[in-house]
Structure 1
């Protein structure tokens, strides 16, 4: 179905609703139908019209509340009624459901919304005044043109007729021939968790933002979007593992040292291959070779190599490292300690410090290892956690969470002062 057909279908469906409402209002006012009968007929009307694009959940409760208010002032002409329905639906989509997902009811309307639903006094059916004429009756609008009337509507919320040429022109300029599935108006931009089908369109419209977001990919968990009016895109673009823990001084000077930090996979502990050193933050490359306990085959570089199939790139970050970058960097924690001061990191103060590590992979480590040894003493690790996550722009979306459980280990295999934590998924 073409975009024009989609929008025409929306308008046809809306016109059918309006016509049916007018007939029901007349019967209700003449005493031929009870309010319950009218509500039942509304349900049937909505079910019988084309509601692929104007969803029952978006209109049903609003129309019931609208009809109740029309019982007070039912003499609204067709154009005014159409404008009111569009305005109510578009402005109040966020409140179509009450708190905790309850259906929106008449009581959920604000006094201002109820006043808007009444229209202007004196509008008399087919012989009543147009929406433009009613607008002119406000003193501040005296003498203004129809173009100014349309501009005032745009400042509040767009009608489908106003949106249609924008979409058509944009798609034509992009030389796209898209079969748009459905259109939704929202006050906020979509996220990768927004449920949609490919070729669904979300119109983001508020006082600060006017955007057209097209869904270009969708699966059971996430969606990807492009903004047709700009260069932005939203996609679940980066998979990563986030490991965090706290450190406290166990023995020694200052805030203690950390060394031999390793990540365990199926073939045991990975070894450190490259380091971009940094005082409180740096990057590294590890190799899943099972040589983490023995290997000192690492180099300090200014740019990491592109990871091979069995390698993983990562970042490490903390605060409070002793301010001597020639010797004491957080990246030294990834080195094997053999008694030298530049083979461990050193915190300056005996306080709790936190460490955060990002591994740019979707492979979940099985364990975390460290050695309680260092030139100026050592630290204890606590509050060890891991998350499997996605980074979308600046947002972190957590998929799974784990905690580190301390395990008894064989000193013959791991050596003295060694600690191993295995990750278990949180229930």
Structure 2
């Protein structure tokens, strides 16, 4: 921590005297007033008629130690007097995912990708400290700044009040971390630092869950430009992944965002990432998102223009997918069934006007019916709920009855009640279409 502008005496216990502004509530910090630290809401905020922003549960940044102070570093940090390094440590109760633990695909959680990002960045920090201790550091200070800032940003996104509860106003802390990461990411992109893809992924998952639904192309294009600078093939990516923990997982999730974003459009948009980028998706990933591998291949063919270039072939694939709907009643199968119905909706909406009429509208309505039936039969506690957002959005765009609207409203509401991302952009987009159609 940098030396204060004036000399401060230190108690033997190591606790600094005077104001501890790092403990103030977020609102008092932003107003630069003293907080009384009262829980759950402080008095200064109540007197000012402002909502108390809550208290920072993070541990402050640590760098070179000062005589007379003490802290419990996690992981252990060897301090250097000539090169202070920004490393963030977190208390165990608030750590989304420890370095040693990786969420299993069998226990799907709504913030799994955020947990992965946090784990990857912690691993990089840990490796940086080990190399510093051995005197063979290969991770630049620029990279350390980026990954620690990503950790801070991800921890803020993982906060229930800031990220999952959309009734609460965006916290000042969340906005500050977002701006800090943006500045840091801009620096690393100017030098084409490959670790910048971690920052791109953090912004992508934030906008996927909170921004306009399907409008993630700028993140995907930025990631592709960065990847093209360092690797032009899967072999190159595998080599690069040896120095960037979690790179393959990050590329896989960005490829999934690429597919989902393209499927939300019917204007002829195609995938941004190359086929070899999409080939990094494996069985573990498909199990995590609740989309069968064969269904993914159909969706991939549709985004590549298969519905126009080979309508008969895609139709046969879609029929095969629909024939598997309802064969199982498990949570995973419900999610898989919604993706199978989504494949039918995406294929039909991409057929040229006049093709397969009058069966096109009838078949489309039937696919939406089946998808809504699956959503109705799915448990409110289904851990795959968050991954049904794309099928629900596609069904919402093609809804033809108030019953469809009611089912989809329940789905978006269930997302919120289940403590997962609510996708306000998707919900609002559906509502706008329903108003135009006179369904609401």
Same structural fold, with TM-score higher than 0.5 when normalized by the shorter chain:
no
TM-score computed with the length of structure 1 as normaliser: 0.28
Greater helix proportion: 2
Larger Rg: 1
